[in-house]
Amino acid sequence: MFASIRDTLRHARLNRHEIGGSLGDLGTFLPLLVGMAATNGLDFAASLFFAGLFNVLTGLAFTIPMAVQPMKAIAAVALTEGLTVPQIMAAGITVSVVLLVLGLTGLIDWLNRAVPRSVVRGLQLALGLSLLMKGLRMVEATGVVVAWDSWITAALAALVVLGLTFSRRVPAAMVLFLAGLTLAIVTRPDAADSLRIGLSFPSWSPPVWDDFVQSFPRAALPQIPLSTLNSVIAVCALATDLFPDRPVKPRRVAVSVGVMNMVACVFGGMPMCHGAGGLAGQHRFGARTNGSILFLGGVKMAVAVLLGAPLMVLCQAFPGSILGVMLAFSGIELAMVTRDQVRKTDAFVMLLTAGACLGLTNMAAGFVIGWVLALVLRLPVLGIERARD
C-alpha cells in the first residue's frame, strides 16, 4: 500500500497552476455547502473537514485532480424540501452503500446501461431548475430594493458571476462567499463577535432508522442514478479524455465514493461524491496532477479545525440575496449538462421526467415515470424511430 502511495505522490506537483486549479470546483461546492449550512443547519465545520480529508485521500489514491463534490440531488432536495440534517446523512449513507455494493460486485456498468441517460438528464434538469427557483425565492424574500441584503445586492452579485464566468483565475463562488461573509460581519455584529480562532472537530451523530425511511424516496433514490452516471461513469470517461496516460476504473471510483460517505455521514459531514463537472472545472483552472487536490484538502481541513465553528455562525447570518444568487447559478450549471439530449425521443423523455419531478414535487415519482416512458418508447411494436440530428 505504501509503495502505491509513493508511486501516486511522484505524479504530484504544486505550483501556481495547481494551486489555481484547486479552486476550479468551488463554484458547486461552496453554494451547496453554505446553502445547507444556512438553510438546513448542516454542520459547516464537519462538512468542510471531511471534504478536505477526502480530498487528501483522493489525492493519495488517484494521480489526477479528482474532485470531491456535494451529492447534488441530495443537496437540491434538502434545500428545496427542507430535509433535516439526519435525513441528509441517511440519504448519503444509503447511496454510498448502494455504490459500494455496485462497485465491489461490478454491477455498476449494468446499472449504467439499465437507466437511460435521458432519464438521468431529466433528473438533473429538474434538480437544476429547483435550485434556480429556490435561489430566486431567497432573493425575493429579502423584500427590499436597496439595503445591504436586497435585490440590488443580488443584482450586483449576479453581475460578478457573469463577469467571472470565463475567468480561469478567480472563481465567482469564492468572491461571493467572501462578500457574503463580509456582509454578515457588517450587518450582524453578534455573529462577528464569534469570529475567532478555536479548535473544532466533528462529533459522532449517526442518523436513526426513521431518517433512512423518510429520506430514501425523496433524496437517496434520485441520487443513485446521478451518482452512477456523473460520479462514476462520466468522471472515468472524462479522465480518459483529459489524462489518457492515467485512466481510472469505474469500480475503483464507486468504492471510493461509497467508503468516504460511510465515514463522513456518521459524523455530520455532507454527502459527497466525485464529479465530472468538478474534474472539468479544476482542469480548466490549471490543475493537472493530484497536487492540486492535496493542497485543497489541507487548506479545507485547516480552515475547518481553526475557524469551523465561527464560520458556521456566519453562515447562519449569510445574506439571502448573495446565497440566492449562488444557488441560482449553481442550478443553472447543473441544468446545462442536459444540452446533450438533442434527439427528439431523448429530449421528450428528459422533459417529461423533469416535468413530472417538478409538477409532482417528488423526484422519485418523476424518475420512475421517466424510466417507464423510456422503456415503453423502446418497444419495437410502437414503431417509433429515433429522430436524427
- pLDDT tens digits along 327-368: 999 899 888 888 989 899 999 999 999 999 999 988 888 999
Q: How many CB atoms lie within 10 A of CB 152?
A: 15
The pLDDT value recorded for residue 381 is 58
Least confident of 21-25, 77-81, 166-170, 303-307: 166-170
Nearest to residue 287, comparing CAs of 14, 74, 100?
14
Determine the 3-state secondary structure of 97 from DSSP.
helix
| pLDDT greater at residue 269 or residue 194 | 269
pLDDT band at 388 (very low <50, low <70, confident <90, very high): very low
The pLDDT value recorded for residue 383 is 58
Q: How far apart are the C-alpha atoms of 173 and 325, rounded to whole Å?
A: 10
Write the pLDDT tens digit of every residue in 15-48.
Answer: 888 888 888 878 789 999 999 999 999 999 899 9
Write the pLDDT tens digit of every residue in 99-157.
Answer: 999 888 888 878 777 888 899 999 999 999 999 999 999 999 988 888 889 999 999 99
Q: Residue 160 pLDDT > 80, yes or no?
A: yes
Least confident of 2-6, 320-324, 338-342: 2-6
Among residues of the chain, what percentage have pLDDT more than 90? 43
Yes or no: say if 205 and 89 are a contact pair by the CB < 8 Å rule: yes
Cell of 321: 440575496
Write the pLDDT tens digit of every residue in 267-321.
Answer: 999 999 998 888 888 888 888 999 999 999 999 999 898 887 778 878 888 899 9
Cell of 93: 449513507
The pLDDT value recorded for residue 237 is 82
User: Residue 380, exposed/middle/buried by CB under 10 A (0-12, 13-18, 19+)?
Assistant: exposed
Sign of CA dihedral 183, 187, 193, 194: negative
Q: How far apart are the C-alpha atoms of 231 and 234, rounded to whole Å?
A: 6
Write the pLDDT tens digit of every residue in 45-64.
Answer: 899 999 999 999 999 999 99
Cell 489526477 found at: 64
The pLDDT value recorded for residue 333 is 85
User: Residue 323, exposed/middle/buried by CB under 10 A (0-12, 13-18, 19+)?
Assistant: buried
Write the pLDDT tens digit of every residue in 205-239.
Answer: 899 999 999 999 999 999 998 888 878 888 888 88
Mean pLDDT, the chain, whole residue set: 87
Element (H, E) at 2: helix 2-10
The pLDDT value recorded for residue 387 is 47
Cell 454491477 found at: 107
Which whole number is the average pLDDT over 385-389? 47
